[in-house]
């Protein structure tokens, strides 16, 4: 009898295992995000034992985008993935890999529940919503207050001319520099320098005209930004190589940062945290003082791939996650990155966090003025050209401002058109 019972239990377990629906779910390879998703997945599986979520971080590759494209090509795409920026979503939609979420039952209710109506509009591609935005990270300027005061500045510089004046007072050649102007030479670095400066100087004006598919930054705003970059390098107020963690070591007094840097500062340089002052990116001298300053949004979202065999179950999981306010609160606590919601400063569930985290609260103020990258399918190529034809010549003084803009726009338009 005992043997029969054991066999029966084994059979039951076998039947249960085969009756489970497996969802493959990939998330960003980031410790704080991993901690969040681990808890979310575990709770869902407890509530839904019929669902087995095979959760892992996006496989290691040159980039998340490369890993996902490789998986698609080999027929191993996940059912659901996070870490999708708007340009990559456009690329995936262009090759018909994504589910149009707005066509699914319950989409409008989910958008209303999470208070992300206007945010979703900025993510639409050809009228469809393929992405649920998870977070929106405004890129803002960090300053070391003690170093500002050392140079005679009680308040951080707001305009290009004020940065020039600060640089004259602060820079010691080969020892310390004013600010980090250029983030690096990778394609994604253009988000955190030229594109951020352009959004700020142009009141959020797009750098790519996605209707005409043309580069749109060869104008007065682009000239102001390019001139600022060139001036900083020509006068050696910044440098190509600033060493490791230059902001924290005092090698520079200011730099553009995202909210993900808050946790790093608190863990690695806790003594510097109280010395940090956060402002919007610098703007041209004629920028109206009573106007809000826009910036770039390092925003990522979640998609469902249309190769999934379990669309209903995948969508139910997504709806469950994003209908929970407490999950957005937990996300904020773990990552310090603002959830893509329009009620961050009015919803009581977040109030205690903002009070306890004043640096993160500064980022929440700029979520309404933070703009995602252009939703184009050729982001990598376009921004590689920005690097080679525009940014590097300005850094090294091999082109004047207008020549650099002309060459970059001409090359980009060949790709877009």
Q: Is the per-residue pLDDT at 9 higher than 70?
A: no
Q: How far apart are CA 221 and CA 200, in angstroms?
A: 9
Q: Please tell me the predicted confidence (pLDDT) of residue 18.
A: 52
Per-residue pLDDT tens for 327-384?
999 999 998 899 999 999 999 999 999 999 999 999 999 988 998 999 898 999 999 9
Mean pLDDT of 136-140: 95
Q: Residue range 153-170: average pLDDT?
A: 98
Q: Is the pLDDT of residue 13 over 80?
A: no
208: closest CA among 29, 372, 11? Answer: 372
17, pLDDT greater than 70: no
Residue 238 pLDDT exceeds 50: yes
Confidence band for 121, pLDDT divided at 50, 70 and 90? confident
Q: Mean per-residue pLDDT for 145-163?
A: 97
Where would I find the beta strands (DSSP E) of 332-389? 370-371
How confident is the model at residue 60, as a pLDDT? 84
Is the separation of the CB atoms in 281 and 254 below 8 Å? no
Could you give all domains of the chain from N- to C-terminal order, each with its CATH number? Answer: 22-137+297-371 (3.40.190.10), 139-295+375-416 (3.40.190.10)
What pLDDT shows up at residue 177? Answer: 98
User: Considering the chain, what percentage of its residues have pLDDT values greater than 70?
Assistant: 95
Which structure tokens are listed for 183?
């983030």
Provide CB contacts within 8 A for 124, sequence distance 6+.
none
Mean pLDDT for all residues in the chain = 93
- The CA-based diameter of the chain, rounded to the nearest angstrom, is 90
pTM, entire model? 0.84
Beta strands per DSSP E along 85-235: 132-138, 140-144, 177-179, 208-209, 214-215
């Amino acid at each position: 009898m005992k043997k029969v019972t054991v066999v029966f239990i084994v059979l039951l377990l076998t039947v249960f295992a085969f009756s489970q629906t497996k969802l493959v779910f990939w998330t960003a390879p980031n410790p704080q995000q991993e901690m969040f998703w681990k808890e979310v997945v575990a709770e869902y599986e407890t509530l839904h034992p019929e669902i087995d979520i095979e959760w892992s971080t996006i496989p290691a590759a040159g980039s998340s985008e490369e890993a996902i494209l490789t998986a698609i090509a080999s027929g191993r795409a996940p059912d659901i993935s996070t870490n999708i920026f708007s340009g990559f979503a456009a690329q995936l939609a262009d090759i018909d890999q994504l589910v149009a979420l707005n066509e699914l039952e319950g989409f409008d209710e989910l958008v209303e529940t999470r208070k992300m109506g206007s945010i979703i509009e900025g993510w639409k591609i050809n009228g469809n919503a393929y992405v649920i935005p998870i977070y929106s990270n405004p890129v803002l300027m960090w300053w070391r207050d003690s170093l500002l005061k050392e140079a005679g500045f009680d308040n951080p510089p707001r305009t290009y001319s004020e940065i020039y004046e600060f640089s004259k007072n602060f820079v010691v050649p080969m020892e310390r520099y004013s600010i980090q102007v250029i983030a690096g030479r990778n394609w994604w670095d253009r988000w955190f320098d030229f594109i951020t400066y352009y959004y700020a100087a142009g009141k959020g004006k797009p750098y790519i005209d996605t209707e005409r598919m043309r580069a749109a930054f060869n104008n007065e705003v682009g000239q102001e930004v390019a001139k600022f970059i060139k001036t900083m390098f020509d006068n050696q107020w910044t440098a190509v190589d600033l060493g490791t963690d230059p902001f924290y070591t005092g090698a520079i007094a200011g730099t553009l940062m995202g909210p993900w840097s808050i946790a790093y500062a608190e863990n690695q340089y806790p003594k510097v945290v109280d010395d940090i002052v956060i402002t919007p990116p610098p703007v041209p001298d004629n920028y109206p003082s009573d106007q809000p300053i826009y910036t770039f949004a390092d925003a990522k979202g979640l998609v469902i791939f249309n190769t999934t065999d379990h669309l209903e179950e995948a969508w139910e999981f997504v709806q469950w996650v994003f209908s929970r306010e407490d999950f957005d609160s937990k996300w904020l606590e773990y990552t310090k990155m603002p959830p893509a919601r329009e009620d961050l400063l009015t919803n009581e569930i977040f109030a205690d966090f903002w009070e306890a985290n004043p640096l993160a609260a500064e980022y929440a103020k700029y979520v309404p003025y933070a703009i995602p990258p252009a939703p184009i399918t050729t982001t990598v190529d376009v921004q590689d050209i920005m690097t080679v034809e525009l940014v590097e010549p300005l850094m090294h003084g091999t082109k004047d401002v207008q020549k650099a803009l002309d060459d970059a726009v001409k090359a980009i338009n060949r790709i877009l058109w």
